[in-house]
Chains A and B, each alone.
Chain A
Amino acid sequence: MTQGKRVIVVGGGLAGLAATVRIAEAGTPVDLVSMVPVKRSHSVCAQGGINACNDVARQQGYSEWQHMDETLYGGDFLNHQPPVYEMTHWAPRIIDLLDRMGVPFNRTTEGFRDLRLFGGSLFKRTHFAGASTGQQLLYGLDEQVRRYEAEGKVTKYEFWEFLAPVMDEGVCRGIIAQDMRTMEIRSLPGAAVVMATGGCGLIYGKSTMSMICNGAAAARCYIAGAPLGNPEMIQVHPTAIPGEDKCRLMSESARGEGGRVWVPRKKGDTRDPRKIPEAERYYFLEEKYPKYGNLVPRDIATREIFWVCQEGLGIGGGNMVYLDITHLPRETKDKLAAILEIYETFTGDDPRETPMKIFPAVHYSMGGLYTVYTPEERPPVPGDPLPGVVGLKHGAPDNMMTPLKGLYAFGELNYQYHGATRLGANALLSCIFDGLFCGLSVHNYALEQPASSNSTAAFQQAAEKEKQKAQKLIDNQGEHNPYELHQRLGLEMTAAATVVKEESRMQQARESVRQMKQQYKSIKLADAGGWTNQNLMFARALGDMLPYAEAILAASIARKESRGSHYRSDYTQRVDDPFHKTTVVSYDSAADEPKIDWEDIPLPMVPLRARTYGKVEG
């Protein structure tokens, strides 16, 4: 047992909760820190499902190996292979475990877990629980954490914000955190710290992510010395419902069932869409891609929608196009009921009657904190086509540890598993896998640590630094409004570094972000109070989003090729030599700039091959 030692987990989504369960089970008590009650974490937003090889698919020729291959192919081979091998081979037992935890997976007539077809595979390998799989999985893990909480093995710090890791002589000894209600800033010592704080969508202003997914926690680790891996890899979903407050996903099944994408031929046409005659509608996907029409691959759809709006043909000249299902028969509309209701709830318009207005939106961060692992060579299991394979060594203390000793990164924050693009229904899997598989690594690492740290001075210093930083923000008497600055950051990042990237536009964005950093120095808060000051928390996070945005831009500029989600209009091809490499971005604190290094990606099992989705016919 770990006498007196505790571990800190920051973030209570799937990755954080799975880690908490595994670490507490192994015998190390956990302090769980989260900005929201963990049951309200962003994982609840996932709808589709969770991938795993299963008995039915297996009998049809599917295997864990094939799941791995799909994940690597989807990720355009930017993913490290041993972690993907281990994740996909663990997937079936993860589903079993969630099933035992009572997650209400949909069932077949005989009472087995039901399966559905999802992108990137020809086999049914996606398990689901109604239309809110992420919510159901999160609740299943939340319940197990509650059980350990009842046993005194988990202490929750909900409505607490992570401010910084505490480093002492190169080792992470805990964190500084702030109570978001009382504003108390304090240190929390921990034998290890697991960061599981999700994606960075808010850097793009509006995304499909939740309001806490601002990337600030990642940026704080980056500034403290933990490098980022592939921060340029940001997934954009082609069809989201743009909202004033956020973008909400509109499932691809709307197009799958016959939905048509169009804009008025006349620029800035303000007519009611239903009154625009057929001849005056521009079905641009169908015209440009007669063979695939509205069902072109996701990245192409995303780029075409983006371009048509750039040309000024978007609805009313803005950034939106019509996704029209009004012409479909009633039975088809009924089949789409669940997703159509989401549209109606948040727009007030009935998509059965009026065409939906959609636009691509930032959806997932494949990149994140850079981590390492211990590979393990072993004999194959059934389905593996090689005489020897490479997985992860279970329990090795460094699995998914950042180069900052004792600081781990799990879940969406971890740059591993998805490479240059993530397959649908693989996110929930990677988050839970990180927590369950690598939780033991954290426990083992904690065991090796001295019983008590002598880092009192480091803690005091770090806490003092955060107190001063907060006070400085409160006292600042400048002219810039943090919300306005954030809005500009979002617009600039969305314009320069999402769907289509190009050198000069990104250089321009880098320059604007540099200016914003200057302007940030003279922001003024509207609230100088010392109680539940959300203004302060927002402004502080903004200050951390700016260097993260610079890292995204710098990496996007440096990667002079197109790969997965990273599409360069000036370099449209994948270029393996020299870009089949991980972009490792470290923070140069002296220059206050990102610094880029390239790291080779070993290919121990599957050789590189071209990614040719959608080009097989013809």
Chain B
Amino acid sequence: MSQTETTSKRPSRFTVRVKRQDDPRSAPYFQAFELEYRPNLNVISILQMIAAKPVTTEGKQVAPVAWDCNCLEEVCGACTMVINGKVRQACSCLLDELLAPGRGASGEIVTLEPMSKFPVVRDLFVDRQRMFDNLLKIKAWVPIDGTHARGPGPRETQEAQEERYAISRCMTCGCCLEACPQFTKDNMFRGAQIMAQAMYFNRHDTGKQLKDQRLDVLMGEGGVHDCGNAQNCVKVCPKEIPLTEAIGRAGRQITVHAIKKFFNAGK
């Protein structure tokens, strides 16, 4: 179908429902905005239209919707939200795709909600600090000697590079955690993101110096054993990171690590 044909079948206006919350302590509520249809809109440009003219379908002037975004190229991870029930980046979510026929009973309505697994700051803007804190806990870095000239890093096969690169594209967006039934606002579960990151650093020749310390964290509360194997994470990852594979590998590394620890305990 050509662009022109597609456009002619589009509605002249469409409705966006936004789940709003004024601050972390107040109760959420929904507000609807009716907007003029234009071709090539994505969810970010919809939010920009609302920001420029925040008037609800009832004609009420309201405060503009707050949301988090930056690169708009699906590489920084900031604009993650729940769109028509699915967690994804707002920048790469096109309106035409949401309005496509056969998209369910919602018809011409687009529903935007904040991620439910993280505390809301305001409206669609959530606080994902927990993901960064977890990176600290698993020592997500390569312990280099310092920045002085010491020649190149360890040589690596292209195969190993591809394996690491696949994980290193993780943009800490939180989709995997939003979709995970084990990960909740109040529990300790660390989730797929951090297991994959631990495996990323354990795979590197210098990075693996901290392998045991990372595995200690993943053995503890909220670690690999709490994974319920629902495999939702891998389905929603926008970067197609092999998350379940990483969790599997983490499990195997922990088994070996635990046995080693057991035999070393007496020494």
Contacts and interface: CB of A to CB of B under 8 A. Distances in A.
A95 B153 CA distance: 9
B266 to A, nearest CB: 31
A522 interface: no
B52 A348 contact: no
Contact of A102 (B71, B75, B150, B153): B153
A7 B40 CA distance: 45
Contact of B52 (A129, A136, A484): A484
B155 A534 contact: no
Nearest to B2: A272
Interface stretch (A146-154, A166-174, A327-335, A606-614): A146-154
B122 A111 contact: no
Q: Which of B42, B53, B94, B139 has the most CB of A within 10 A?
A: B42
Nearest to A244: B45
Given A143-B140, A150-B136, A42 B70 contact: yes
B2 to A, nearest CB: 4
A104 B70 contact: no
Contacts of A345: 74, 92
A374 interface: no
A331 B66 CA distance: 45
Contacts of B139: 147, 150
Nearest to B163: A104
B204 interface: yes
A354 interface: yes
B147 A436 contact: yes
Q: Is the interface of B mostly helix, strand, loop or mixed?
A: loop
Interface stretch (A293-301, A362-370, A421-429, A523-531): A523-531
Interface in A94-110: 95-97, 99-102, 104-110
A129 B161 CA distance: 9
B142 interface: yes
A210 B64 contact: no
Contact of A347 (B40, B70, B142, B149): B40
A252 interface: no
Interface string B12-30: 0000000000110000000
A338 to B, nearest CB: 12
Q: Tell me which of A95, A97, A146 has the highest count of chain B C-beta atoms within 10 A of its own C-beta.
A: A97
Contacts of B97: 348
Interface of B: 2-5, 22-23, 38, 40-42, 44-45, 48, 51-54, 61-64, 66-67, 69-78, 91-92, 94, 96-97, 121-122, 125, 128, 132, 135-136, 139-144, 146-147, 149-153, 155-158, 160-161, 164-165, 168-169, 171-172, 201, 204, 206-207
Given A107-B155, A212-B70, A346-B42, 12 more contacts: A25-B147, A96-B150, A102-B153, A102-B206, A146-B135, A245-B72, A246-B72, A270-B4, A272-B5, A347-B94, A348-B94, A534-B66
